[in-house]
Structure 1
Amino acid sequence: MDNRRSGGRAPAYFRSNGGVVRYGELLERGLTAADVRRLVRSGDLIPIRRGCYAWRRDDLTPEARHLLLLEATRPTLGVGTVFTHGSAAVLHDLPVRITDLTRVHITRPDTSGRITKNVWRHSAPLPDSAVTEASGVPVTTIERTVVDLARWLPFADAVAVVDAALHRGVERAALEAEIELARRRRFNERARRAVAFGDARAESPGESRSRVLMAVVGLPMPQLQREFRDHNGEVDARVDFDWEEYGVSGEFDGEVKYGRLLAPGETVDKVVVFEKQREELLKTHGRWTVRWVNANLSNTSRRSQETLTFCVKFP
């Protein structure tokens, strides 16, 4: 393959270097500085950090780009470095805010905290029991990762992380024990609140944030993942939230206003029709359905509060 040519599959040396190649290697393989600039302009080369590039990908999510930044940054870090906080969350496939992915997070017990353009260095004790390996790199255990984030993140985002961990089978008691291992750490009370509020039944960060906002505006807590059955005892409907006493069901729609991520071959119109039919079915179970999206979940948004309190005021 002609490396100077834009378009097409990534050259093999990108695939064999964790997806990241350094500027010097590009020159060694025959590209000129002008070639590199042109490939960056065309979008075929993506700058990851100074002097490091990845080949374009259609599926380059913020999490995938963060892993490329981690790979590009690893050689600059000292021996014994452990990836933590947001970086550990990505490696453990936990939900993390996009704003927390612009830097690689590491923790070292023998240094002071410091923030640079690409690295956020945290300083804290790291016993061997708190360290494991994921994708071939040292990383905090999922329990330590959840507790670190629960100390550090705003409450709604911390609950989303706790919920995801509990949903995957992490024991609440293990998270509580992790907090107690460092009982004098700052913001432990934040972590305790998030762990106590966590619910393994939540299936998305949006559902977690919805529950937090419900608590903020004073709504009664709903039943999560409520199933409804037909006359044969078969499940014919399932909802994210249900307030039986009000005859109201609630649905958080993350990617599409009506429904979840589109399945192969589905269109938005088909999903809209399906969801409308589903709402009619829920009416036969005595439920009125209310929906909301991410834009409705800002704690400071008056409309957020109106949307959710509407569920209870007008069943």
Structure 2
Amino acid sequence: MLPYEAPLYFCGIPFTARQVGSKLRWLLGAGEIRAVLKGVYVDVRVPDSPELRASAFTLLVPPDAIACGRTAAWIHGIETTALGPSEQVNLQWTRDSDDTVEVAGVRVTSPVSTTVELAMQLPRPFALSAVDAMLRAGKADRWAVRAASTAYEGRPGIFQARQILYYADRRAESPGESWLRLRLLDAGFGRLNLQTRVRGPEREYRIDLAYPEPLEDGRRLGLEYDSDKWHSRPREEARDERRRNELAALGWHIISVRRTDLWGRYPALELAVGSYLSQQPRLPRRW
């Protein structure tokens, strides 16, 4: 990679593949540029921002295009993990929208309209994680989104949207927590508490999802989504195990859930939670 003092490629402005031609593969291989959207790149030293995303969008669409759906959410600052399984957002735009805002001079559907669209259009797990992310980022208010959804009555996806907007919660701190919550709701286990605080003798703990009512053994049940990014190294796994033991001493059963536990077909998670709650889970899963 070039020394940091070297000039930014294209002055740090996003550019398309045809602007660098055959040099593109070399620049990517050397780690000097990165993709912003499919076919649009920028110098790796340029920080991500809504302005950068909006500029990249303009390189791929007509001048009168309005960003909508996943692309609008992405420009508003939502990470792609919450929007779908791909690391790159799908390009979505329209010429027909009355509820728009400007981001760096680019017309984008408003956060409220975008949130309703996400709840209607995305597969259920990603619909919930996307809506949770919009609420958590302060881009939209839950009640404003619910009110706006009434204008979409009769459109495809509105039944799903009503359910997703009922489940949505700005306290979810990651897409994984949203997906986990949806699986438990789909299994018929009822609403959970989010970010439950537990006071210990030396520190305070926070549990991602919890059923606060005592179980038959007098303990309570908590679930935590442990992402591969922050919970896969030996030191991190040892820290997590120590934390679970400390919470056990405070009267909690803690179920640690990884990404592979969420997306497999076998209902091991539902069966485990059901055994603690003394409930039969509702199966098969809806996703």
Mark yes or no: TM-score above 0.5: yes
Q: In structure 1, what is the equivalent of residue 146 of structure 2?
A: 176
Secondary structure, in 3 states, of the residue corresponding to 1:104? coil
Name which of 218, 242, 250 aligns with 1:285: 250
Q: In structure 1, what is the equivalent of residue 282 of structure 2?
A: none
Q: Residue by residue, what CA displacement relative to the aligned partner does 1:120-150 show, whole Å, maximum 9, x if unpaired? A: xxxxxx11xx211224422111111111111
Matches within 5 A, 1:18-37: 19-20=14-15, 23-24=18-19, 26=20
Secondary structure, in 3 states, of the residue corresponding to 2:64? coil
Sort the Cα spacing of 1:20 and 1:277 in 2 relative to 1 into closer, same or farther, 3 A. Answer: same
Unmatched 5+ stretches in structure 2: 280-287
Sort the Cα spacing of 1:307 and 1:224 in 2 relative to 1 into closer, same or farther, 3 A. Answer: same
Q: Residue by residue, what CA displacement relative to the aligned partner does 1:166-222 show, whole Å, maximum 9, x if unpaired? A: 334432221112212233332211111110111222221111111110122232433
**Separation in structure 1 between the aligned mates of residue 179 and residue 22 of structure 2, nearest angstrom:** 47
Given residue 188 of structure 2, which amino acid in structure 1 is its aligned partner?
G
User: Shift in Å at residue 83 of structure 1?
Assistant: 0.8
Name which of 223, 226, 230 aligns with 1:250: 223
Sort the Cα spacing of 1:271 and 1:181 in 2 relative to 1 into closer, same or farther, 3 A. Answer: same
Q: In structure 1, what is the equivalent of residue 237 of structure 2?
A: 272
Sort the Cα spacing of 1:136 and 1:253 in 2 relative to 1 into closer, same or farther, 3 A. Answer: farther
Q: In structure 2, what is the equivalent of residue 12 of structure 1?
A: 8
User: Shift in Å at residue 282 of structure 1?
Assistant: 1.4
Q: In structure 2, what is the equivalent of residue 89 of structure 1?
A: 73
**Separation in structure 2 between the aligned mates of residue 304 and residue 13 of structure 1, nearest angstrom:** 48
Q: Percent identity at matched positions?
A: 23
**Separation in structure 2 between the aligned mates of residue 134 and residue 34 of structure 1, nearest angstrom:** 32
**Separation in structure 1 between the aligned mates of residue 142 and residue 251 of structure 2, nearest angstrom:** 35
**What TM-score, normalized by structure 1, do the two folds share?**
0.71
Secondary structure, in 3 states, of the residue corresponding to 1:147? helix
**Separation in structure 2 between the aligned mates of residue 177 and residue 171 of structure 1, nearest angstrom:** 10
Pair 1:79-2:63 in alignment: yes
**Separation in structure 2 between the aligned mates of residue 36 and residue 167 of structure 1, nearest angstrom:** 37
**Separation in structure 2 between the aligned mates of residue 140 and residue 213 of structure 1, nearest angstrom:** 30
**What TM-score, normalized by structure 2, do the two folds share?**
0.77
User: Shift in Å at residue 65 of structure 1?
Assistant: 11
**Separation in structure 2 between the aligned mates of residue 36 and residue 226 of structure 1, nearest angstrom:** 48
Sort the Cα spacing of 1:39 and 1:154 in 2 relative to 1 into closer, same or farther, 3 A. Answer: closer
Sort the Cα spacing of 1:249 and 1:105 in 2 relative to 1 into closer, same or farther, 3 A. Answer: same
Equivalenced residues, count = 268
Given residue 96 of structure 1, which amino acid in structure 2 is its aligned partner?
L
Given residue 229 of structure 1, which amino acid in structure 2 is its aligned partner?
R
Q: What RMSD, in angstroms, separates the aligned Cα atoms of the two structures?
A: 3.5
**Separation in structure 1 between the aligned mates of residue 25 and residue 131 of structure 2, nearest angstrom:** 43
Sort the Cα spacing of 1:102 and 1:250 in 2 relative to 1 into closer, same or farther, 3 A. Answer: closer
